[in-house]
Structure formats: C-alpha cells, structure tokens
Structure 1
Amino acid sequence: MSHLIERLGHQGDGIAAGPVFAPMTLPGERVTGALDGQRLTDVRIEEPSDRRVAPPCRHFKACGGCQLQHADDAFVAEFKEGVVRAALKAHGIETTFLPIATSPAQARRRATFSARRTKKAAMAGFHGRASDVIIEIPDCRLLHPDLMRGIPVAEALAQQAGTRKGALDVAVCLSRNGLDVNASGGKALDGPLRALLAQMAEALDLARLSWDGEVIAMRQAPVQRFGAADVTPPPGAFLQATPQGEAALLADVSAALEGATRVVDLFAGCGTFALPLSEMARVHAVEGDAAMTEAMDAGWRKAQGLKQLSVEARDLFRRPLLPDELAKFDGAVIDPPRAGAEAQMAQLIAAKLPQIAYVSCNPVTFARDAAAAVAAGYRVDAVRVVDQFRWSSHVELVARLTRI
C-alpha cells in the first residue's frame, strides 16, 4: 500500500493520512514501506518531491543528528518559518517575518558525543535515528572541523574511564584556548581516576577537562568572548550552538532595545546578551545558576569600556522579578528554556516595559507568552527564525515586542 505524504510534523517526519509517520520523506511524495503501528519503516520513495536533494553527509540515513538533509535549503527555511507562523496563528497573532538566519555547514561549536567501550577499544558518535545505537560520524557535515577532534577524545575517555553498563556522555565545546570537555556517566571519581584523567587532559591537549561537572584539570581557561568581555563559563554552561547564530540573535536583540538605557537580561546565562548590551546601556543580568553569574561578573570586571553590569542569581520560575523591581528598566531581553517564561512575562507586562526582546527555542511557548503580551497592549513588531541547528527540526527565533 502506498501513502501520500501530506505534511511534515514538528519532528521532521512526513505525515500521511491515518496518521502514518514516515521519516526522511517530504510533502507530495508517494511512499511505501512496512507499517509498524503508526510508523512506516523500510521506506521507499515511489514518487519523489522536486524539493528532494541528495543528503550532503554520508551518515545521514543512520545518524539521528539531522532530520532534514534530504530537503533543499529553501524548503527547510519555509518549514521552520511555517512552524512559527502556525504557533502564532493559533493565538491570532500576525507579524512581520524577517529573513531566516541559517548557520552554515560545519559551524556547530558544541556537541555531546556518546562513547562506549568495546572489546578492543572504544567508539564515539551520535545515537542512531530512534535508537540507542552509537553511530560513528568521521565525516560529519554539521560540526566545526576543530570540534571533530572531540570524537577521539570521547573514545579515549570511554576506553579509560567508561563502564560496561552504559555509554559515556562527553560534552565538547570549542573555546578560544581549545576544547572544553565535560564527561558524565563514567566511573565514580576516586584518587587514581583523578590522576589518570589529569594525565589524559595533558596528553589530549585539552583546555579543560571536567568529570560530572567537577573540574579535574584546567590547563588553559576555556574562554568565550561576549562582546568586549572574555568569560570562562562553568563546566556544562549553556552556549549558543554556532557563532553565526549567536551574532544573528544579538543583532536583533540590540535592534529591539535601541535607545534603551537601563536593560534587564532575564535567563542571562553567562552573558551572551548582557555583556554586549552593556556597551550601550546599564544592564542587570539575572540567571538561576550562580556559577554562571559569577563567570559573567568576572568577565565584565576585566573588560574595558563597558557600562555598569550587575548580576543576580535567582530562580525566575519560582521568583520572577516583580513590577516594582522592573520599574527602573526601559527595556528587557528574555531568553528562557523550552518551557518559556509565563510567570516572568506576566510581571514584565504588568510593569509595562516599553521594549522587550524575546529569544526562544520553542515556538509554542513563545506564542503563548506573546499572546499574553498582545492581550495587555503589546505588538509583536517582527520575528526572525534563527536556524543554528541546520538540517534538524529544531526551531529558534528572536522577536521584538513593543508596548503600544
């Protein structure tokens, strides 16, 4: 039996009537395969779409890191913008969409590899599609070439300090001084393992090696630059996926807050926005992780020519900033996790801040929060989809909200 693919779901799978989910298919294609519940396996493309292209990476069919390499770039852009449009339409919101900002291939500066000991050595890579099987990715087209050196690092760590029970998760990030590595899921730390890991950090030429978030060795500070400031984030701290994506987000955040002189940065991380914004305004940065706020503050103190930056460690889900605390600001940037910022947005709205820049990794929760703002007298002036996770179904955006 053949199936006509009608649309793509939010995870990037084609959807036919039923519904039937078929990975690596596109709207308009007629496909066949073996039906396993609602999922089509062993998919054969009987009538391909004219939007179909040859995947640029030879690992695409097996690796679960990408979902959309079989579609042309214009289709992927339309799909991601469509996800945001649909989320806003569900709340009756119309706005202007700025051109999508798509990061180039081989631009990802952070990744988490899965690594496992084998009988003779070890292997590392990404999990296969809908599987816990590790797929080796020596020719990955997604990661920065310098980040690819993290694969043999992950293999070495798994071989020496992994367990037979499960895979080692090795988060690797490019810094200005080399690879910043944080591994978890391996052997429990003790004296001999600490000594071994310290030796490995030297042998593998790592800037920093951490084990379950604890720094084992820091040969050089794994510095990230935010505006004019150099910051050494704590192990595992959040970082935008690509430099190009970060630059696109920052440009729109800065434009949204043009003219503001006192800015509050909510869910500020290590200062991705707060530090560059402090070149033009006084900034108060609030983040739930105290180690991140300390790293941001240290970076600001060492930088030159910045306006005042104050930091606060505070759980904004449990204790959002209230209107009396927000009254002294004339602009806000908010970059919450996937759950959005329902409680904090309610307080921003109540405080009647004139300008809000909203950065989101979840169009659904963004649309919910934006709808609350619109109902209270705000306008969504513009939205830009920022595609840092090229060839994936993941959608990020930045929006400008202005009080009417």
Structure 2
Amino acid sequence: MSSPSMDKTHVEHLSTTPAIREPGVVDVEYGWQGNNRVELLENGEAYFPRVFEAIRQAKTEILLETFIVFEDKVGEELQEVLIAAAQRGVRITASLDGFGCGELSTGYLTALSEAGVRIQIFDPAPKHLGIRTNWFRRLHRKIVVVDGTIAFIGGINFSADHLADFGPEAKQDYSVEVQGPAVADIHHFALLQCGRPARAKYWWQRRRQRRSELAFTDHDGQVRLVYRDNGEHPTDIEEVYRQVLRSAQRRVVIANAYFFPGYRLLREIRNAAHRGVDVRLILQGQPDMLAAKLAARMTYDYLLKSGVQIYEYCDRPLHGKVALVDEDWSTVGSSNLDPLSLSLNLEANVLIRDRAFNRDLFKRLEDLSNNHCKVMSVDKTPRGRVWHMTVGFLVFHFLAQFPAWAGWLPAHKPRLKPFSHSAGSDT
C-alpha cells in the first residue's frame, strides 16, 4: 500500500484544535546571557548523534522546529527516538514546515501522532498541477530544546544529505549545542512559537536587544538569541551583521550558502575591507541550486575590488550559515544572507561571545578555505558581452527588490495547523 504525502491530509480542515497564529510574530527581544557552554557541531556526523542522544535522555519535554524531514535513515531514526520518548511520557511538540516537509507520508506523521507527539504543520498547502504554491515565508528555523536544559540551533535539517556517505551532494553545514542560562531564552522562544504558555518578558527585558553589538565583552560563554519574523523583528539578523561589520578591527569570516545580501550589508562588507580588516567570504562553488551561485557572483566584482577575499567551496554543496568577527564574536544559525532569509523566511541564529568557540570555528573555516576552496579574483569573475552585463544588472536589481514585491502580493497568511492522524489513511 502507498502512503500519501502530507499535502493530501488537509490538516487545516480536519482538526478541532484552533489554528495557531504565525510563529515568530512575537514582540520579544532577548539579551546576552553569560556562563554558557557552547560547542560547534559540524555536519550530521557530529549533530545527529548528539541530538538523538539528548532526545533519548529526555525526561519531561522536547520542542522541535525544522524546515526539512525526509523519510530516509535520519528521518526514520528521528521518528524512532521521538516515539520512544513520547511513550515514556515526554511531552513533545514538533513544528514542521509545510513546504520542506511536504513529502512526508501520512503514515510517517500518523505514527508520531498516535504515539502522543503533537505535530504542527507550518503553512500546509496542496499542490496545484503538481506544483507547490507555498514557496515563500517558510519556517526555516532548526531548533531542538530538550527538558529546557539543552538546546541545538543551526542550519542542519533532519535528512541524510547532511552525512558524508550520502555522496557528492552531501552538504557541509554547522549547528551549535548550548547548555546554560541562554537555553531559557531559546526555550521561551520555542514555547511561544508552538503556541504553548511561556513566561512573559517585561519591558526592560524586551528592550535589551537594542544595545549595540559594539560593546564587546571580555567574558566568555556569552550567548544571545536573535531571530527574524514577518512582524516586529523583520530585520534583526541583518542589523546584527551590519553592526558587527562596522565594529570589526582585525578579521571577518563569513561562510554562507546563499549569498545575495542587500545594498546596505554589501556596503558594510566593502567598508570593513577598505578599513584594512581581513574580510573573507566562503561561498558555494558546488551549489545545490545553480541560481544561488549565479546570484552570488553578481556581487564579486564589487567586493573583490574593495579587497574582500572570496573563496568558493567546491568539494560539495555548502549549506552553512556561520560567521565570526575578530577573536571573540561568532554566529551560527539558519539564516542565509539572501532575500528569502533576510526578508521573508522565519529564521533564528545564536550570537556567541566566546574566544575558544571563535578559535574553533576559525580553524575549521580556515581549513575549508585553504584546502577545499577555489580562490576567486577579479580576472576570474564572469564577464561577457554588453547584453550579458545588462541582463546581470537587471537580475541583480530584481532580486534586491524581490522581497518587497513579494510582500505586496495578495498572499495567504501562513499559519501553524495541527496534524490529526484521523485526517487521512494509507490507501
């Protein structure tokens, strides 16, 4: 018997539970929290064992948000550990994106639901003429919080293409494990997103985020959650990048899968290089989507002529979203530096002030750039006839303005919809 995919379950109509408001539209701002232990997890080989072990050890609660789950060996293990946790009484809420998880079968979701896992689908939508229509304003975050004491956040989805044995298309990616006071903020945020009651933040706590990123601290183990939504915080992640670029004194390293930032962020990258800061970008050279490479290359001349060093990672697709500034500031998260992540999708990053973490990340990125990348130079950037340049100019400005235009469309308003295992059955 076959298992129909999630878009056939019509979850938006078949549950008596009221629809929950769009996650991310919450007026909460989080400040720096000290005395945390943070550990960089590179690729699925490091990430999946730590997450699955934390789920196996869970005693009271698991909150999970992800863009993609595939029914491969990783997705099957995720299902197994969640079912086992639910059966021993752990309260579990899994929020899945309706586009990224749109091919999950009813059987897969029903097994979780019947075990007691509360499943919520962000913006489920059926296909029209075999094509999905819910392309924009995705739930792109990747967050797991276990028992309110350990959190994982980054760019890694629950799919086997984050493991090296997947082959040439295996992704290079990063996440971070956090333990300490900052987990309370990540937990609070995750509770709000899934519609669960959460402790209120008072006005002086909500305003802490507006303090400048220029005020660096000598204390390690500092972590702050920053996110973007389509409500009160549409530019928070981009603003953080711009602030730290303005404050950079010695080095900046940005490794980002989909690189096509707006004018202001490009200008801050260029200005840092003009000041003599060692600015390095590690971008896709072997992209999973050719358009990502073409878009990024439209910025190369502008940046290279300013002294920015650009490396294209060519071993396999780069999926990471990480950066570091000087010797103590780093960020890891789900946000690319492109119009979708910076202007439309729901994203979350952690900011980290920790010298040991910064050194570890720098060492790994330096190995990547020195041993696995192609160095780009002005003479290697694509050039062509006048019409090529004209088309490139038009595409550049179209992409730069695309988020604003997309916001004008009479689009549906995405919502979290509860999945009900009575919504469908295998046929």
Larger radius of gyration: 1
> TM-score, length-normalised on structure 2?
0.28
Q: Name the structure where helix makes up a greater proportion of residues.
A: 2
Q: Name the structure where strand makes up a greater proportion of residues.
A: 1
